[in-house]
Amino acid sequence: MQTSDEVKNALNVLFRANSELYSERGFQRRIGYGKKPALINIDLANAWTRPGNAFTCDGMETIIPGVQALLTAFRARGLPVVYTTTAYNVTEGPNSDMGMWVHKIPVEVLQEGSDAVQIDSRIAPLPNEMVIVKKRASGFNGTFLNGYLKACGVDTIIVTGVTAAACVRHTIEDGIAEGFRPIAVRECIGDRIAGAVEWNLFDIDAKFGDVEPLENVLTYLRGNAIG
């Protein structure tokens, strides 16, 4: 479902009012880029990127080419690339690893090893790129992502993926809490609900990280001070 012009206009009115409030109170500061970034692609697996799934998200006609451009830039510089997918080993019976989440959303379809949880082939990881299987919304929660990034000397996380309202947002929130500079790539973040991308990117930009257009991020990646 693409966000209609009516919804966008209503959100723009709301954003202008909230921007004034935030500005008056000292929010919306810029965290900026650091010296070494990693690309974090959140849940760009088939269950989210391909049509016909419970988790299918909109905007892939923009997100996939944008991520392809970022991958090209990161790989050219030899910078870390990380993918996450959400998957479960046990999806039947009382002793599953889905926890309480299955009582809210159909995570039982996200079976580890299935095609649904494989990274979209259009942005497939290289053998030397990390794929982290997570059980929760954030890419950091319950995974080794924090330690891996710090071992690589990373100070900036360039975040793409889905969904803006959940896994992307929680990864960015945890990222800044762990001491990284989160940069959300505007054109490379999606959701399945009208208005969810616009609202969450506005709120992320106010509180947790910088939302930047793809071209600005690519310009940063071309800089000489990285790595």
Omega before residue 163 within 30° of 0, cis = yes
pLDDT attached to residue 3: 61
Tokens found for residue 24? 């008056």
Residue 75 near residue 126 (C-beta atoms within 8 A): yes
186: left (phi over 0), alpha (psi -120 to 50) or beta: alpha
| Position 170, amino acid | H
Residue 195 near residue 3 (C-beta atoms within 8 A): yes
Residue 143 near residue 169 (C-beta atoms within 8 A): no
Say how far apart CA 51 and CA 58 lie, in whole Å: 9
Residue 60 near residue 190 (C-beta atoms within 8 A): yes
C-alpha Rg value of the chain to the nearest Å: 17
Exposure of 145 in the CB half-sphere (CA atoms within 13 A): 30
Closest by Cα among 28, 71, 50 to 162: 50
Say how far apart CA 163 and CA 135 lie, in whole Å: 15
- Catalytic residue of the set 57, 152, 167, 188: 167
Say how far apart CA 227 and CA 210 lie, in whole Å: 20
pLDDT tens track, the chain, 227 positions: 456 677 777 777 777 767 777 878 888 899 999 999 999 999 999 999 999 999 999 999 999 999 999 999 999 999 999 999 999 999 988 899 999 999 999 999 999 999 999 999 999 999 999 999 999 999 999 999 999 999 999 999 999 999 999 999 999 999 999 999 999 999 999 999 878 999 999 999 999 999 999 999 999 999 977 87
Global confidence as pTM = 0.92
Q: Which domains does the chain have, with CATH numbers?
A: 34-221 (3.40.50.850)
pLDDT attached to residue 21: 75
**Strand 37-42 and strand 81-86: pairing?**
parallel
Say how far apart CA 207 and CA 179 lie, in whole Å: 14
Residue 90 near residue 50 (C-beta atoms within 8 A): no
pLDDT attached to residue 65: 98
Tokens found for residue 58? 């909109």
Residue 167 catalytic? yes
